[in-house]
Amino acid sequence: MNEPIVLVVGARPNFMKIAPIYAELARRGEELILLHTGQHYDDNMSKVFFDDLGMPKPDIYLGIGSGSHAYQTATVMVEFEKICMERKPSMVVVVGDVNSTVACSIVCAKLGVPCAHVEAGLRSFDRGMPEEINRILTDSVADLLLTPSPDGDENLRAEGVAEHRIVRVGNVMIDSLYSNLERSKQSPIRSDLGISGKYAILTLHRPSNVDDQENFVGILGALETIGKEIQLVFPIHPRTEKMAKSFGMYERLEAIPNIILTGPVGYLDFVALMASSTLVLTDSGGLQEETTALGIPCITLRENTERPITVTEGTNTIVGCDPKLITKTALEALAGEGKAGRIPDLWDGKTAERIADVLQKHIANGD
């Protein structure tokens, strides 16, 4: 029996990164195990992604569920160790920066199982973000660090990482985006939501924005002004909805001019919404990249980004949670003064092919 390659997904953003890699390795005849830790467990947040992305149901589902960072990380480690001991993988592939990513990479390091980290080297230089800790720890123990952009290479070198562990492959999220753009045009989401004319998309979920009442109120104030100028489509994250209600702000949110509130939407539906939007306001990492690839102005409601290439080369502008700056930047973009940007090198839809090449070479060499 051949030793399989284990591909790990844990949370919503992971699925778009794993899907092209899974498809390419399957095309090459590799024996694969798709492992879902269940870190995101809501059907709307996970199951629909497997349907949208054409991925098979996971071979293994750990069903970890919600909990503190310590609980999720520790529980994934305990359960994943059993899988590694039983299946003896030739390689484990982890992606992004969620708790499942760091948990599985540490298990691999302890057991001597080769591990590749896709989207390595990204840094916000803000250790107040749990994801930053996950990125640093994962990159310190993974064998192969597959970076999306030159800043990732530079960050790893600055941390003393050996050159042979660093391979720039490009941005695998863009593979998923490009391969699903045409399919997304069949989505009825815009007519279903009653969208007419130009619109902006909003996504908001980070604790710094939605758990901090002052910041949340400031962002709402900006949206109230922006909503007077353009329709706002807001697929609201469960966490954001919960906090808005606990702060007594949900009615104010519903009253924003021209706002359309909906629950989390599937990947194809979201791509359809994004591709036809005039502007995106977000605190997500992946959206900064996707808007750059599509040439859509993006306003990031954070103080920093681990994806600076979207600012230096792309369409992204960092504004924090300052209501005046959010409003000013949004109105400029709506007036046609948003950043034009360009698509970074190797964001060409062929990243999964390069990743598969690296993984197969590593396994064949017995490194």
Residues annotated as part of the active site: 205
CA dist., res. 33 & res. 8, Å (int): 9
Angle at 353 between CA 137 and CA 183, to 5 degrees: 100
Both structure tokens of 265: 């939407």
Other Cβ atoms within 10 Å of 320 Cβ, number:
17
Burial of 337 from C-beta contacts in 10 A (0-12 / 13-18 / 19+): exposed
Distance CA 232, CA 261 (A): 8
Those residues with Cβ within 8 angstroms of residue 272's Cβ, 6 or more apart along the chain or in another chain: 184, 185, 187, 189, 190
* Closest residue by Cα to residue 100 from 51, 37, 147: 37
In angstroms, rounded to a whole number, what is the distance separating the alpha carbons of residues 216 and 192?
28
Strand partners, 32: 5
Q: Which of 136, 175, 178 is nearest to 159 (CA)?
A: 136
- The DSSP bridge pattern shows strands 316-318 and 60-61 to be unpaired
Helix (H) or strand (E) holding 111: helix 99-111
Q: Which two tokens stand for residue 34?
A: 């798709």
Tokens of 346: 């190797």
Residue with structure tokens 């599985």?
Answer: 104
Which residues 6+ apart lie within 8 Å of 135 measured at CB?
97, 120, 122, 123, 306
